[in-house]
Amino acid sequence: MEAFLEFFETMPSWQKLAWIFACLSFNWIGEAIRPLFDFDYKKLKHIGVNMVFLASDILINLLFGIATVGIFAWASASEFGLLYHIDLPLWLELVIGVMFLDFMAQYAVHVLLHRVPFMWRFHMIHHSDTHVDATTATRHHPGDYVCREIFALIAILLAGIPLAFYLFYRILTVFFAYFSHANIRLPRALDRVLSYVIVTPDMHKFHHHFERPWTDTNFGNIFSFWDRIFGTLVYEDAKQVEYGLDMLDDSRSQDIAYQFMVPFNSDVKTDPDKNFLGMKRK
């Protein structure tokens, strides 16, 4: 187990990039073979727009990376956090660490991104994508991404998570983020069975429906049982989902300048009863 964790702790940057490319390629192949929706869109342009958001978040990640190194060093020296004060098999501590990170840095902060108005203004950009596919996983406004990173740091401190655990968790989140957003349709029975443990493509699609209450469901990233435990799970026929967001102009979903400025646009309302131009879809 020590050698397994050391692999992630010493993983060079080129291997991390290769993993991202491999995860994207895997899901792009799935989208080509068995798509959930037959989108009529320019896929390369759509990819390009979402990659711009990814680039902005990578810059933020570099800054938080510096802070994270300092926090890991301080937590280790002071033995601050839960895992420093319990004696369990290493594999079980890893499971606990990954689960706690998934809860705090994904589920909990995701709920707040929907419930706290100023946080929702940043998170709206993720929901504004009208053609949800694997690359939608990278579509996060910098303000949204900062909120997520802050909660990740809090989780690291509270649980006393070692660096190797955190890096393993980040590798996992890359796969599950792309997988759950991918425009693929698994066999219904398989998706249903998997959804009892992990977040599946069909399950996550309801979160990207254009209006509430479905928009405020299925907040999980890796494990689906958080939604089951806290009563935020919806599982129906994913073909009923319509992408976009009723508070924004769908026609500008690929307008990068517009999307970056949405959180600061006073014409955009966060009240669910005051959606874009006060109109509902038919």
Q: Does the pLDDT at position 206 exceed 90?
A: yes
- Torsion angles phi and psi, residue 223, rounded to 5: -95, 135
State the average pLDDT over residues 4-9. Answer: 85
Integer Cα distance of 230 and 122 in angstroms:
24
Q: What is the DSSP letter of 235?
A: -
Q: What is the pTM of this model?
A: 0.90
Residue 126 is part of which domain span? 2-278
Question: Tens digits of per-residue pLDDT, 69-115?
Answer: 888 888 888 888 889 888 899 999 999 999 999 999 999 999 999 99
The Cβ of residue 165 has, within 10 Å, a number of other Cβ atoms equal to 25
Cβ atoms of 197 and 224 within 8 Å: the answer is: yes
Model pLDDT, residue 272: 52
Residue % of the chain over a pLDDT of 70: 96
Residue 248 confidence (pLDDT) above 80: yes
Res 277: pLDDT: 37
CB atoms within 10 A of CB 171: 16
Digit-coded pLDDT (tens) for 20-72: 999 999 999 999 999 999 988 888 899 999 999 988 888 888 887 777 888 88
Domain count, the chain: 1
DSSP helix/strand/coil, 127: helix
Helical ranges in the chain per DSSP H:
2-9, 13-33, 43-78, 90-102, 109-115, 117-127, 142-159, 163-181, 188-194, 201-205, 225-229, 256-261
> Is the per-residue pLDDT at 270 higher than 80?
no
